[in-house]
């Protein structure tokens, strides 16, 4: 199993939130911006945490974490953010072997996510993604730094951008996270989703 110091976490917060109607990272949940709930869960799971977003993303400065901008783009989606995070990690964190990715709109994500992905990563040599309720959630994944050439080819030479499709192309394995009171990977894409999450948690994160 990998040590925390071998894993750099990246919070993927570069989306345009078109379906939400405003930047969902700053939507209020339990008196805090949505992004703060996700950061709080992510920061404890890796040796270092960074945020993938555009310049001027205030929470990165507030939390004292590096801000990583996309290298390939614009509008290439979360896989471009994973690519940027791997590239940044190779240059800045010599002890790291993997990048763990998290979505900014999933405030109930498991607090043992990275630990459980790490167990089946074969010491950080395999791509591992999350699964719940029979559905994979590839944005929540553990990505070996060694896949950068494959990722570069997928994004640039092949012109593709689907996270799930890339994960399948490298034979990613998945780890099942069981529902408890709720699907741990429920995400806030629309205003109605935020209302649902508020109802589920009674106005506060547990």
pLDDT digits (tens, 9 = 90+) for 47-101: 999 999 877 787 788 889 999 999 997 778 999 999 999 999 999 999 999 999 9
CA torsion sign for 15, 19, 23, 28 is: negative
Q: What is the mean pLDDT of residues 105-110?
A: 89
Tokens representing residue 89 in the block = 């990690």
Q: What is the mean pLDDT of residues 156-176?
A: 96
Q: What is the mean pLDDT of residues 19-24?
A: 57
Q: Are 79 and 166 in contact (CB under 8 A)?
A: yes
In the block, tokens 């806030």 appear at 188
Taking domain 4-201, whether its CATH number is 3.90.550.10 is answered by yes
Q: What is the mean pLDDT of residues 114-130?
A: 96
Residue spans of the domains in the chain: they are 4-201
């Amino acid at each position: 199993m990998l040590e925390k110091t071998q894993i750099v976490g990246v919070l993927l917060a570069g989306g345009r939130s078109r379906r939400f109607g405003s930047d969902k990272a700053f939507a209020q949940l339990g008196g805090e911006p949505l992004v703060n709930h996700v950061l709080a869960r992510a920061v404890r799971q890796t040796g270092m945490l960074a945020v993938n977003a555009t310049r001027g993303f205030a929470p990165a400065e507030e939390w004292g974490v590096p801000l990583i901008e996309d290298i390939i783009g614009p509008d290439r989606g979360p896989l471009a953010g994973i690519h940027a995070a791997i590239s940044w990690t190779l240059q800045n964190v010599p002890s790291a072997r993997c990048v763990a990715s998290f979505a900014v709109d999933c405030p109930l994500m498991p607090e043992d996510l990275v630990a459980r992905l790490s167990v089946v990563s074969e010491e950080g040599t395999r791509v591992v993604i999350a699964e719940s309720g029979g559905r994979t959630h590839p944005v929540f994944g553990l990505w070996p730094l060694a896949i950068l050439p494959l990722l570069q080819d997928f994004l640039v030479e092949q012109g593709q951008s689907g996270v799930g499709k890339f994960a399948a192309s490298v034979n990613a394995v998945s780890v099942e996270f069981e529902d408890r009171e709720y699907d741990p990977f429920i995400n806030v894409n629309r205003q109605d989703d935020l209302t649902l999450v508020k109802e589920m948690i009674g106005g506060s994160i547990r």
